[in-house]
Chains A and B, each alone.
Chain A
Amino acid sequence: MMSHMHAVDVLLVEDNQQDAELTIRSLKKHKLANNVSVVEDGAEALDFIFCRGKYGERDINHPPKVIFLDLKLPLVSGLEVLRAIKQDARTKAVPVVVVTSSREDPDVKAAYELGANSYVVKPVDFESFTEAIGSLGLYWLLINQPPK
């Protein structure tokens, strides 16, 4: 769960610690968990991304390769975080995968409109969950080519 100050592959924005643990375990299973950072609310997520507050030493020019973003977050909501990322020229190229527990989420449409790159429902079944997270990690970290 430790993170490099400089090279972060995955930023996991998740307030549910169990979900966070399961996500990291899934990534680990696929050997993708080397550089995973976890923040627990929207405000911290914004600090991390824009290198503010306790993340002031971070270099904004080295953003995470992918952000896994839950929509239901304390303090600042997932949609607000998404909006901030996509409105800033420095960060808008960072892929954001919206991860949520519910198909019923009324914010799905809003998320896509704000520029979410994917929208994924977290399955209850652990195997399916591992599969889903693994696929996402593989895709965004290895297959997807970020702009230079």
Chain B
Amino acid sequence: MNVRSRITLLFVLLAVVPVVVVGFLAYYTGRQSIEQVEINHLVSTNLMKSSELTRWIEAYQQRMEELAQRPLIAQYSAIVVASDPSDPAYDLARLSLEEDHLKPRIKPRGGFTEVSVISPDKGIIMASSDEMQEGKYYANQRFFAEGKLHTYTQGVFYSLPVQQTTMMVSTPINDKKEKLVAVLAGRLDLRDLSSIMSAQSGLSQSEKTYLVNKSNFFVTEPYSGEGYALKKTVRTEGVQAGLSGNDGVAFYNDYRNVPVIGAYKWLPEYNMCLITEVDQSEAYAPINSMAMTMLSIVSLLALIVLAAGFFLARTITQPLARLVAGAAEIGRHGHLDRKVGTEDKDEIGELSRAFDRMAMELKMTTVSIDELERRIHERTAQLEAANRELEAFSYSVSHDLRAPLRAIDGYTRILLEDYQQLLDDEGKRICSVISEGAHKMSDLIDDLLTFSRLGRSALNPSNIDMEAMAGAVFQELTTAQSRKRIDFQVDSLPPAVGDPALLRQVWVNLLSNSVKFSQKKKRAVIRVRGEKSENETVYSVQDNGVGFDMQYVDKLFGVFQRLHSVKDFEGNGVGLALVQRVILRHGGRAWAEGETGKGATFYFTLPHQGMI
């Protein structure tokens, strides 16, 4: 994931997560409180409806009692109950009772659907607002039995005589002596009950209140006009709980199978349960709409933050991208003039300017490297020219110095040959000294030339078996005769990389020195060693010859430096200088240790790498 995406994501997380958390908490608490409010409302609605029901019934009871207490009612009822058609007062009493007292109590003015006078002994309707009911038999009905004693309301029941569910209010009719004359009974209109129950008590559209009887039949319509009352049964969780005699609240699916919050209340006096329900969808609508609003806000916020983060990230990553591109160009193509710096005051701007400065310094360094290379070139050319001059010089030296020497030696010889008789022994000796001098001078010239050539010619390195080379050189330097006197020991020598011709010359010079300086020993010992260390190999040649005084060790490797007289040991003092020159050219070192009369050890090293 790149920096830009990371920054953007961080922004979104920082902005959205708190909002989501707070939103969820708000939603949860909001829902809780809405639930509580709704539950309170439903419970109080139930209480209100049950008291309305009681008032409604009490109002009818009151009317019934008022009717029963009229003196005329008692008087006429007694006549009607006596039921003696021969009594001339009978017809009048019945007519008056029905027309003046019972019928006015029925709908629409009175509210009852039927008001009847029942004989107390047989339970037969003796007079009624509905003539069709006369003669019907109510002796085994509860409202009749209770009604003989006091005012009574019988909850919803199925009435055989009228062949329908009904609700009856009954009250005794007593004469002046408080003797029971008849039972007055009124039938209530259940449709009125429905309208009371279904009257909206709150603002909720879906809220409904209804009654359910013991047999699970609707007593009132949940919603007006459905025609469920006393025709359909209902067995929802709330209804079952209510019918079991409990009061409470529950969440369940109602008879329509719609999720509701329902309050149920058992009404023992009427054997019914009162249910008030509201659809959960409506109850939760405010909190759900709040949640929707919140969700929209969060989404919008996320979008805004995403865009802001994206652009902010751009402002951060764009200069970085420029830096990366600039660095890549400098790295790949070496365009050190390429500028990536910005005017920005922030850290990235600072970085970009620092980068430019770095590129500039790099450029200056590069320029100075170019300058250095140019100078090296110049110097090399000068050195090459000098080298060529030196070669020409050495040619001249060897050519022009030799010619006179040849003349000296040649003419001396001619003198000896042609004027032999004229020269005495001293003259001849002088001639031979002249000759010798010329020879020595010639040798010196040869050695000097060799020495100078060693410093100039290019090295041709290859792998060298140093042990074999040292052995072969020793064989060449010595005769079978001399080898008898010399104990020559060669350890196993590590191989080397170097110029074979030059290193061979090193062995020649060192071994010949050892042979030479140990020639006066009865038993000469020459030992050659080689030891590998981390970076170089150290070779050494040790002898038990005359050795030297360490005081003069510095002079040992100088050209024409001699520590012994020519009389004792031949040599012109070039050999060790040559050894040192060869070893230095190979990147190594050469040194010596010795003690007068005890022998000397000469060391040289060759590096494993970095040969010049």
Contacts and interface: CB of A to CB of B under 8 A. Distances in A.
A125 B399 contact: no
Given A104-B394, A124-B439, A22 B399 contact: no
B171 to A, nearest CB: 160
Nearest to B394: A104
Nearest to A100: B399
A101 B410 contact: no
B403 A18 contact: yes
Interface string A61-72: 000000000001
Interface in A18-75: 18-19, 22, 25, 72
A129 interface: yes
A102 interface: yes
A106 B403 CA distance: 17
A105 B399 contact: yes
A104 B395 contact: yes
Nearest to B446: A103
B407 interface: yes
A104 B449 contact: yes
A23 to B, nearest CB: 10
Interface in B426-475: 435, 438-439, 441-442, 449
Interface string A121-137: 01111110100000000
Contacts of B414: 25, 126
Interface centre among A103, A106, A127, A129 (most CB of B within 10 A): A103
Contact of B410 (A22, A104, A105, A106): A22
A18 B407 contact: yes
B405 interface: yes
B453 to A, nearest CB: 8
Given A25-B414, A125-B439, A104 B399 contact: yes
Contacts of A144: none
A118 interface: no
Contacts of B438: 124
A102 B402 CA distance: 8
Contacts of B411: 18
Given A72-B399, A102-B398, A106-B395, A127 B413 contact: yes
A25 B400 CA distance: 21
A117 interface: no
B402 A101 contact: yes
Q: Which of A18, A22, A123, A126 has the most CB of B within 10 A?
A: A126
Nearest to A29: B417
A103 to B, nearest CB: 7
Interface string B383-396: 00000000110110
A129 B414 CA distance: 13
Contacts of B402: 101-102, 122, 124
A97 to B, nearest CB: 17
B399 A126 contact: no
B391 A106 contact: yes
Interface string B318-339: 0000000000000000000000
B contact face: mostly helix, strand, loop, or mixed: helix
Contacts of B409: 124-126
A15 B442 CA distance: 21
B405 A103 contact: no
A127 B442 CA distance: 14
A105 to B, nearest CB: 6
B375 interface: no
Contacts of A129: 406, 410
A3 interface: no
Nearest to A121: B402
A105 B224 CA distance: 139
A87 interface: no
Contacts, number: 64
Interface residues of A, number: 20
Contacts of B400: 101
B403 A101 contact: yes
A124 B410 CA distance: 8
Interface string A106-148: 1000000000000000111111010000000000000000000
Contact of A22 (B391, B406, B435, B442): B406
Question: Taking each of B405, B409, B411, which has the highest tally of chain A beta carbons within 10 Å of its own beta carbon?
Answer: B409
B395 A18 contact: no
B403 A19 contact: yes
A65 B412 CA distance: 31
Contacts of A19: 403, 406-407
A106 B389 CA distance: 12
A25 B417 CA distance: 12
Interface string B405-425: 111011111100000000000
Given A19-B403, A104-B449, A126 B410 contact: yes
A24 B303 CA distance: 116
A65 B68 CA distance: 189
Contacts of B410: 18, 22, 25, 126, 129
B406 A102 contact: no
Contacts of A100: 399
A101 B399 contact: yes
Contact of B442 (A18, A72, A106, A124): A124
A105 B412 CA distance: 27
A127 B406 CA distance: 10
A102 B397 CA distance: 9
Nearest to B412: A126
A103 B399 CA distance: 8
A124 B403 CA distance: 7
A25 B410 CA distance: 10
A22 B449 CA distance: 25
A28 B394 CA distance: 33
Chain A CB count within 10 A is highest, among B399, B412, B442, for B399
Contact of B399 (A18, A102, A127): A102
Interface of B: 391-392, 394-395, 398-400, 402-403, 405-407, 409-414, 435, 438-439, 441-442, 449
Per CB-CB distance, the 10 closest pairs between chain A and chain B, nearest first, are: A124-B442, A102-B399, A126-B413, A102-B398, A18-B407, A22-B410, A126-B410, A101-B402, A101-B399, A104-B395
Interface of A: 16, 18-19, 22, 25, 72, 100-106, 122-127, 129
Given A25-B414, A124-B402, 11 more contacts: A16-B407, A18-B406, A101-B398, A104-B391, A105-B399, A123-B406, A124-B405, A125-B442, A126-B410, A126-B435, A129-B406
11 contacts: A18-B406, A18-B411, A19-B406, A22-B410, A102-B398, A124-B402, A124-B439, A124-B441, A126-B409, A126-B412, A127-B413
